[in-house]
Amino acid sequence: MASLPVSPPGAEAPEHSQQSRNQALIDTTSRIMGAMYVYVALWLVITLVAGLQKAHPQLVWGTTAWLGVIAATRALVAHQLQNLLDHSPALAHRLTVGLVLVNGLTWGLLTAASVYLPSLEPIRTSMLLVSVGLSSGGTVAMAINPTLKMWFPVSVIAPVALATAAHATDGNFMLASLMVIYTVYIMHAARTVSQDYWRAQEAFRALEHVSLTDPLTQVPNRLHFERQYQTEWRRACRLNTRLAVMIVDLDHFKHVNDEHGHPAGDIVLQEAAKAMGQAIMRPCDVLARYGGEEFVVLLPDITEEGVQVVAERLRTQVENLAITLPSGVIRVTCSVGYACVIPGHELDTDDLIRQADEALYHAKVGGRNCSRRWAAPQTQPPQAQRDEPINALT
């Protein structure tokens, strides 16, 4: 049965649903879209102003080309991010995070080279200042990603710290120490930003869960069903697969309220919903309360025989209920009507619901506590055609 799980407040990203992690990746990418070409611009400004292209043309233009390739690849991945997430979320995450880390590490190595190599001393101060700015601004912007918030500042600062530590001077030792302290501080600030983001996400998901859940039975409500129904209808149209809908009605439920009271009727609804939920075994199937004592079941990508099996299993689960209350033991049955189609241009979403509702009517008329499949009404031939064989015999 489809559900809307809510993680404990303050949980880290790995404990969230795949949908939440995907949304966090989309949010991260949107935050850093403008920074994709910043590395190229900063590198060109620093090296050209310092005149480094004359002494080290291969370094300047080769690095410019490399940073440009990274920026273009990041932009392409960002443009195709939604498609990547739809087909391979793991690949989308690896590409996005990996390219950002390669960018950060490239800049960290360039800064380390400016510290370690005397020939690059003209750009040393500028590279150090930019490294500090990139690591602080970038880390905070990407803090909602659990990997980037820890490894991005490390990728930028660690090479610089190692390069400064390699020169055993008091100034370099102090600089290396400051780099380490700064990295720890940035990671702590990123952790705070990350916690705030995920708490806000949890609050939103909790609110969404409440808005899409029936408060009495704790199964999805009609709004949730209609959303999923539209999604599954479009998917079935695209893939040319079958889609089924079952409408379930508790038999003589008014008598339960009249004889035992409305609180007892609420308990019956809750227990019936639990029993129906046990009959819905696939994660893609949705059981929802449709209204009153009616429930609806959405069964994507299923055969007509499969729908019949689920309908009978659901009906049996409800029939076997024995609800013990102070007023006595209550037994309840249900009637099930279902329809199964391959959506096409000749059908719309209302048709399948209507067919299931008609099948439920026939189940009620047929004596209740049974399941009925919708069948197209037989068209009667014209009177003249029916009489034709008789005329031929006379």
- Per residue in 205-235, pLDDT (tens digit) is 777 777 889 999 999 999 999 999 999 999 8
* Distance separating alpha carbons of residues 382 and 314, to the nearest angstrom: 41
pTM: 0.55
pLDDT for residue 335 is more than 70: yes
pLDDT at residue 24 in the model: 82
Which range has highest mean pLDDT (4-8, 302-306, 381-385)? 302-306
CATH of domain 222-373: 3.30.70.270
pLDDT for residue 290 is more than 70: yes
Size of the chain, expressed as the number of residues it contains: 394
pLDDT at residue 7 in the model: 38
**DSSP-assigned beta bridge partners for residue 182:** none
Q: What is the pLDDT of residues 117-126, one digit of tens each?
A: 889 989 988 9
pLDDT at residue 16 in the model: 52
pLDDT for residue 10 is more than 50: no
pLDDT for residue 13 is more than 50: no
Q: What string of DSSP letters covers 302-331?
A: --HHHHHHHHHHHHHHHHT--EEETTEEE-
Strands 323-325 and 328-330: antiparallel
Arithmetic mean of pLDDT, 95-106: 93
pLDDT band at 394 (very low <50, low <70, confident <90, very high): very low
- Supply the mean pLDDT for the chain: 84
Which range has highest mean pLDDT (34-43, 93-102, 322-331)? 93-102
- Identify which of 252, 235, 227, 221 has the alpha carbon closest to the alpha carbon of residue 334: 252
pLDDT for residue 257 is more than 50: yes
- Per the CB < 8 A criterion, the answer to whether 314 and 299 are in contact is no
Q: Which two tokens stand for residue 203?
A: 């609050």
pLDDT at residue 380 in the model: 53
Arithmetic mean of pLDDT, 161-176: 71
Enumerate the domain spans of the chain.
13-210, 222-373
